[in-house]
Structure 1
Amino acid sequence: MVVIRLSRGGSKARPFFNIVVTDKRTRRDGRFIERVGFYNPLARGGEESIRIEQDRLTYWRGVGAQASPTVERLVQQAAKKAAAPAAV
């Protein structure tokens, strides 16, 4: 089964996560099919904390990929953040 999940990067105590499409059987930081975004939980000030390529995410969901609960939460958070500047 194909899943959309986080892959950890960064150094010790400075996490950085890539949002990747991968086979469920591969290890967390192992081989992946495609990188569709990133999440930086330590972003400060004007730094971008999350970026998701919505077209690729929609494609992978359309062909049956399942997103992890954390990725689902991040997608909703990114959508809310993208809608806020448009309303202003």
Structure 2
Amino acid sequence: LALLHQEEAYGGEIVDRLAAFPGLAISAGTAYPLLSRLKRSGLIASVWRESPVGPPRKYYRLTADGEESFADLARAWNGMKNDMDQLLGTDVAP
């Protein structure tokens, strides 16, 4: 949801962006079922667009419910992060 909160993207682009974060990297075989589940739950929508190279691509974007869900998750994450920072001390190196 965080990637689609920033801007819409097609599946391969989402996989490529997540690859920049080793702890979050997923395969296309994992990404597409997740995107399908998010779409069925109403958190994302999709539209087909022509590609400058190759076949058309399905672009995904957050719906209003998806934006709300992302905001809720971000608040929860920030609360947990703040609690962990206090528990571990902000100067603790990994």
TM over 0.5: no
TM-score (norm 2): 0.28
Q: Which structure has more strand as a fraction of its residues?
A: 1
Higher Rg of the two aligned structures? 2
Normalised to the residue count of structure 1, the TM-score between the two structures is 0.30
